[in-house]
Amino acid sequence: MAITRLVWILSLVSLFTDISSEMLYPVLPLYLQSIGYSFAFIGILEGVAEAVAGLSKGFFGRWSDQLGKRLPFVQIGYALSAVSRPLLVVWTHPFGIFTSRTADRLGKGIRTAARDALLALEATPATRATVFGFHRSMDTLGAVVGPLLAFGFLYFYPGEYFWLFVLAFVPGLISVGCTLLISEKNSEKKSHPKIPSFFSSLSYIVKANSEYKRIVFGLLLFALFNSSDMFLLLRAKELGATDTGVIQLYILFNLSYALLAWPVGGIADRLGKKKVAIAGFATFAGVYVIMALIPDSRLVWLPFVLYGGFYACTEGISKAWISDITPGHELGAALGTFTALQSVVMLLASTMAGAIWQFYGSWAALLLSALAGMIVAIYFTLIQLCTSS
């Protein structure tokens, strides 16, 4: 059976963690503004926090390989995030806000590669996309439930951010409790494990096999033009969607992703991960063309549904694909290095998209991303890989 007890527990951990984080993510800028912080401060805060999360994934993934243990990184990472979120309303000094928010994202960096390695090792090449797809479905379901809980709470208790943060601590605590139910199988470790240097983990891509490099090159090329999802929401607003409508589109996208990720993972295991990923990149291109050319907001819900399909075809499946061509004792480094580089490149993508949007208009930024999606789909269609799985 593909969905084992371990996969269920890790998926529930991600579900409750995402409920907790997504209860706060949409209202975090509003809260920070309410206590006197500027847009510039919020931008710097999020940039630093996401950079820490991205760069640390490779380091902690490599460290988990060295130790031959994944579970401690999973438990510490989820616990750090859960504890740090309520501190945002307790420690409101700028240093406190920076420390709390960065600790939350550092927790993500600590746990991500180790968790993905546990999922990959629990599956086989014939079931990996199904396993990662199921995990992404549960994780993204939290991104539907979390905002609904937050906006429901604020509807009845407007401006009560303190109690919202306290309430969000509950699902975070449940997720930490679930990690205590996990037992880890013995795995290979080095006789004298050393703590890697922070940036040495990125050297993995130099020594990795050629197939890993070809796959990761294509995925990173795509990431360079895959800017923040916030730009699609801004475009919807530009087309005339109301504030409430934008929130509904965000929930619709996450719901589409949550419902499609698991079945699409099963399809990828049967038809091949490469084929489904190519379909995902082509879908991305179609979404961005529609968003660039659509005249008003009446049909804007359609690209957001399709956008959930794009994520279902690429997000978990890319990790399953990389896992198929990576030795088990290197999974932490392989997955961590990929996600670290992806985070950095996507930060550049958002910066570039913002500049193009500012000087040439939304249509130029969106059509450039669409073109990149088609180029990457063609790239993966043409390149030869040892496995097409």
Angle between helices 301-324 and 128-156 (to 10 degrees): 140
CA distance 223 to 232: 16
CA distance 345 to 223: 6
| 16-30 tens-digit pLDDT | 999 999 888 777 777
SS3 at position 70: coil
Q: Which two tokens stand for residue 154?
A: 């604020």
User: Is 292 a residue whose pLDDT tops 70?
Assistant: yes
Q: Which two tokens stand for residue 344?
A: 């950095």
Angle between helices 39-67 and 94-122 (to 10 degrees): 40
Q: Which two tokens stand for residue 350?
A: 């958002």
Residue with tokens 């929130």: 247
Confidence of residue 250 (pLDDT cuts 50, 70, 90): confident
Predicted local distance difference test score (pLDDT) of residue 297: 82
User: Is 384 a residue whose pLDDT tops 80?
Assistant: no
Confidence of residue 186 (pLDDT cuts 50, 70, 90): low
CA distance 316 to 324: 13
Confidence of residue 175 (pLDDT cuts 50, 70, 90): very high
Q: What is the mean pLDDT of residues 33-56?
A: 76
Confidence of residue 160 (pLDDT cuts 50, 70, 90): confident
Q: Is 128 exposed, middle or buried (0-12, 13-18, 19+ CB in 10 A)?
A: buried
Looking at the chain, list the stretches that DSSP marks H as alpha helix, in order from N- to C-terminal side.
5-24, 28-34, 39-67, 71-84, 94-122, 128-156, 161-179, 204-207, 210-223, 230-238, 243-271, 273-293, 301-324, 331-360, 362-382
User: Is 369 a residue whose pLDDT tops 70?
Assistant: yes
User: Is 132 a residue whose pLDDT tops 90?
Assistant: yes
Q: Which of 373, 97, 81 is nearest to 224 (CA)?
A: 373
CA distance 211 to 386: 7
Confidence of residue 296 (pLDDT cuts 50, 70, 90): confident
CA atoms 350, 353, 355, 357: torsion sign: negative
CA distance 21 to 108: 11
The answer to whether residues 165 and 78 touch, using CB atoms and an 8 Å cutoff, is no
Query: Where are the domains positioned within the chain?
Result: 5-181+204-382
DSSP state of 196: P
Confidence of residue 247 (pLDDT cuts 50, 70, 90): confident
The answer to whether residues 207 and 65 touch, using CB atoms and an 8 Å cutoff, is no
The residue among 47 and 94 whose pLDDT is bigger is: 94
CA distance 123 to 126: 8
Whole-angstrom CA distances from 253 to 182, 240, 319, 370 are 31, 18, 21, 18
CA distance 364 to 94: 37
| 300-354 tens-digit pLDDT | 999 999 999 999 999 999 999 999 988 888 888 888 888 888 888 887 887 888 8
CA distance 234 to 255: 19
Torsion, Cα 194 197 201 206, to 10 degrees, reads -100
The answer to whether residues 201 and 344 touch, using CB atoms and an 8 Å cutoff, is no
CA atoms 107, 109, 110, 113: torsion sign: positive
| Percent share of the chain, pLDDT over 90 | 47
User: Is 387 a residue whose pLDDT tops 60?
Assistant: no
| 115-130 tens-digit pLDDT | 999 999 999 989 999 9
| 255-267 tens-digit pLDDT | 999 999 999 999 9
The answer to whether residues 307 and 253 touch, using CB atoms and an 8 Å cutoff, is yes
Return the CATH number of the domain spanning residue range 5-181+204-382: 1.20.1250.20
Residue with tokens 């040892």: 386
Confidence of residue 194 (pLDDT cuts 50, 70, 90): low
CA distance 43 to 7: 35
Predicted local distance difference test score (pLDDT) of residue 35: 83
Predicted local distance difference test score (pLDDT) of residue 147: 87
Q: What is the mean pLDDT of residues 356-366?
A: 88
Predicted local distance difference test score (pLDDT) of residue 195: 66
